[in-house]
Amino acid sequence: MSACDTCLVRNRAICSALDKEEIGALNAIGRRRSLVSGESLIWEGEDSVLVANVIEGVLKLSTGTEDGREQIVGVVYPSDFIGRPFGGTTNHGVTALTDARVCVFSRSDFDAFAREHPGLEHKLLQRTLTELDRTRRWMLLLGRKSASEKVASFLMELSDRLSPITCESDGSSNATRFVLPFSRQQIADVLGLTIETVSRQFTRLKSEGIIDLPSRREVVIQDRFALVAEAG
């Protein structure tokens, strides 16, 4: 049994476009790698030498400003594809926000494989267009939404993206529980807010019964319809 046969995201990742024989060939050029929280996989500005599928965990895409500040420009979740196929320089770094597992491929080997398997190239194109749509929605969030709408939208996004792996029913009122892979400061950086504003919004949502915060990193969405309304 290959690693692909037991992969948690086999049916949702780009390799879902391949048949059993093709999966075996892809498995032969890939390897599993475990990352601890804070460990980098790809560095900004370097040649694109590897690509990867996320199996477990959450990773951030970030870039640095000239004065040394970090800006998180994206987040990837289980089944997402990271890296830049078909050459070029990596425009952002990729770092694990949580402990994670990825399936890593040499970019040159992956490029050659993709050229021989149109189904995989088509899946890559679909993923690219989906990511473009997500980026446009994010531009709307950052450019036009209020602080309350930003935080609510962010929690909705996390709930939707994490639910196949880490979210679970809370057993009452269709509540949904998940663990935040971000600190409050990182949430503030992502949303273009101050940490004080983020904390105030969390406190308000809790006081209004829309969410609960059992611990610093746990969130329970108690009223999803109200959170959707908050998100605008």
What pLDDT digit, counting tens, does each position of 155-193 carry?
A: 988 888 875 334 455 544 567 888 888 889 888 888 888
- The CATH number of 145-230 is 1.10.10.10
pLDDT at 29 over 70: yes
Q: What is the mean pLDDT of residues 71-96?
A: 86
CATH class of 3-140: mainly beta
Question: 38 — phi, psi (to 5°)?
Answer: 95, -10
Q: What is the mean pLDDT of residues 93-120?
A: 90
Mean pLDDT lowest among 100-114, 124-138, 167-181, 200-214: 167-181
Same fold, 3-140 and 145-230: no
Which pLDDT score, from 0 to 100, does residue 3 have?
Answer: 64
Which pLDDT score, from 0 to 100, does residue 196 have?
Answer: 96
For residues 66 and 89, the answer to whether their CB atoms sit within 8 Å is: no
pLDDT at 118 over 80: yes
Q: What is the mean pLDDT of residues 67-89?
A: 83
Q: Is the dihedral of CA 59, 77, 151, 65 positive or negative?
A: positive
Length of the chain: 232
Q: How far is CA 5 from CA 22, 33, 164, 167, in A?
A: 12, 17, 18, 24
Question: Which residues partner with 70 through β-bridges?
Answer: 64
131-164 pLDDT, tens digit per residue, is 777 777 767 767 778 899 999 988 988 888 875 3
Answer with the residue of higher pLDDT: 86 or 29: 29
Mean pLDDT lowest among 1-5, 52-56, 94-98: 1-5
Which pLDDT score, from 0 to 100, does residue 182 have?
Answer: 83
Q: Give the whole-angstrom CA distance, residue 157 versus residue 140.
A: 14
Mean pLDDT of the chain: 84
> What ranges do the domains of the chain cover?
3-140, 145-230
Rounded to two decimals, the pTM is: 0.78
Output the six-digit token pair for 82. 């990271």
